[in-house]
Amino acid sequence: MRLVERYVLSYALAIVVSGLLLMVMSIREIEIYYAVYLIEFLVSLELVASFRRSLGRNLRPIIIVFLFGFAYTVVQRILQILG
């Protein structure tokens, strides 16, 4: 099995396990799910990118989109608290 295939499978398994754990803990805020999935993605990417630099470069646009989405959820939460 190639490195990219192992990366995709391990990330998919991490999403399923963390999603189930968050459901068991009765967490219903979408921001929590988004933050957990983003952290999982970045950590798994760093683990794999140390072996294959081109993967990190190719996924850079996806990382930027995820970080903008995270910033959006943070701003929404701040506005909700202040409003």
State residue 45 phi and psi, 5-degree precision: -65, -40
Tokens of 80: 């909700």
Q: What pLDDT does residue 11 have?
A: 86
Residue spans of alpha helices (H) in 1-83: 3-24, 30-49, 53-58, 60-82
Q: What pLDDT does residue 20 have?
A: 95
Between 44 and 55, the higher pLDDT residue: 44
Whether the model clears a pTM of 0.95, i.e. scores above it, the answer is no
pLDDT in tens, 10-38: 889 999 999 999 999 999 888 899 999 99
Q: Report the chain's C-alpha Rg in angstroms.
A: 15
> Mean pLDDT across the stretch 45-58?
78
The pLDDT of residue 62 is above 90: no
Residue 29 CA to residue 36 CA, distance in Å, equals: 11
